[in-house]
Homo-oligomer: A and B are copies of this chain.
Amino acid sequence: MPVPRLKLGVAGLGRGFMLLLPTLAAHPGIRLVGAADPREEARRQFRADFGARTYAQVADLCADPDVEAIYVATPHQLHREHVELAAAHGKHALVEKPMALSLEDCQAMIDAMRRARRWLVVGHSHSFDAPYLRTREMIDSQGFGAVRMISALNYTDFLYRPRRPEELDTSQGGGVVFSQAAHQVDIVRLLGGGHVKSVRAATGSWDPARPTEGAYSALLTFNNGVFANMTYSGFAHFDSDELCGWSGELGQPRDPNQYGTARAKLAKIQGPEEETALKNTRTYGAGLSLANSQLPDSAHNHFGFILVSCDGADLRPLPHGVQVYAHTRRYLETLPSPEIPRREVLDELIGAIRHDRPPIHTGEWGMATMEVCFALLESARHGHEVTLSHQHA
């Protein structure tokens, strides 16, 4: 008997949705049955693309009896409210990272879904990318010995891409700690064992015109003795895609001869209003639609340079597989190119709802990742080490 498609409603037709749209549309286990967004043009586009019901309010989407699960892709600060709405209507939820902007909110979301006896999955984050999941499997199964140390570096022009003012305001969930550390922490926790013990970090807010954290460096220790360094710069001129075979974050081929384009484009823009306007011409229903969200013929997604040092080998997840540096030989364990990029997050959601397979990226998992992100900000702000207490593997 075939497993029926999961009837998914989308809360928020913004950038998170656009990034997952090709996957949502192509995944054989998913049917998009509804959406909520305050923008009429986004709702119109959704109806045109999917012939599905749309709502101005997330509450109305959650109340739709045909919806089984809500994909919460609204602004970060609304995640709690929308997950609680989903729970109140007995829907499962997939919530985008960052899960929420406080531990209290994360806990409330977990509690609400637990009371409702529904599944909560947190993603997409790059820790769902096949090379990281495969690296974790190899650590567990291939006798490379204990994980000891992890290095993670990512240098991008994140801060110079078109942004709305709230994306440059940490109190509203802006800046690279919420947007980008959430990925890097998720990956490092996946590979390092989950239970982070302490965080010491420094952050950089170096451009008064972009007044939020654009860079950080952190040292993490884990309960199991693993330690990890994580460094990110969204102010970067160097591009760490160079260390990933010039494959981009989304698996797309990068042209090494393109240089400095984000800053060059931004320099032509006059002020934040024009920047917001520009960004708004590139949202779903205004310039973007299903038709121009093609599945790229691409490598796997990635999040920069990652190296896992085990006793028996160093493992380096790459866009085309996992490079293994073992005692006597070095080889690439190739992964076939993704037919549906980012499908892993939906597979995990469907696995939980249809097959009762506990997901990796539960609410508790997501909260533990956010605890590290909050600790990173706190450590940097106060200049001391932060010890963690909500960790979960």
How far is A264 from B311 in the complex, measured between Cα atoms in Å?
Answer: 16
A329 interface residue (CB < 8 Å to B): yes
Of residues 258 through 315 on chain A, the ones whose CB sits less than 8 Å from some CB of chain B are: 259-260, 263-264, 307, 309, 311, 313-314
A163 at the binding interface (Cβ < 8 Å) = no
* With A206-B148, A384-B385 as contacts: A217 and B229 at CB distance below 8 Å: yes
Contacts A219-B200, A243-B243 given; does A259 touch B229 at CB 8 Å: no
Number of chain copies forming the complex:
2
On whether the beta carbons of B326 and A237 are closer than 8 Å, the reply is: yes
**A329 and B259 in contact, given A155-B314, A384-B385, A385-B385 (Cβ under 8 angstroms):** yes
Chain B residue, CB-CB nearest to A206: B148
Q: Are A218 and B219 in contact (CB under 8 A)?
A: yes
CB pairs A–B below 8 angstroms (22 shown): A148-B235, A149-B202, A149-B204, A149-B231, A151-B217, A153-B153, A155-B314, A200-B385, A201-B219, A207-B311, A219-B219, A235-B311, A236-B314, A236-B325, A237-B309, A237-B314, A237-B325, A237-B330, A243-B243, A260-B327, A263-B328, A384-B385
Q: Please, which residues of chain B bring their CB within 8 A of the CB of A151?
A: 153, 217, 231
Q: Which of B146, B148, B155 contacts A307 (CB 8 A)?
A: B155
Complex Cα gap A260–B236 (Å): 34
A378 to chain B, nearest CB (A): 14
Total residues of chain A contacting the partner, CB 8 A: 48
| A233 sits at the interface (CB 8 A) | yes
Bound-state CA distance A243–B151 (Å) is: 14
Measured in the bound complex, the distance between the Cα atoms of B221 and A149 in whole Å is 21
Contact (Cβ within 8 A) B313 A237: yes
Contacts of A327 in B (CB 8 A): 237, 260, 263
Give A contacts to B, CB under 8 Å. Answer: 146, 148-149, 151, 153, 155, 198, 200-202, 204, 206-207, 215, 217-219, 221, 227-229, 231, 233, 235-239, 243, 259-260, 263-264, 307, 309, 311, 313-314, 316, 325-330, 383-385
In the bound complex, do residue A238 and residue B328 qualify as a contact, i.e. CB atoms below 8 Å apart?
no
Closest B residue by C-beta to A307: B238
Distance in angstroms between the alpha carbons of A327 and B262 in the assembled complex: 10
**A149 and B238 form a contact (CB under 8 A):** no
* Docked pose: A147 CA to B311 CA in angstroms: 36
- Given A151-B153, A328-B264, are A217 and B206 neighbors across the interface (CB < 8 Å)? no
Q: Which residues on the B side are within 8 Å of A231 (C-beta)?
A: 149, 151, 229
Measured between beta carbons, the chain B residues less than 8 angstroms from A243 are 243
* Separation of A229 and B148 alpha carbons in the complex (Å): 17
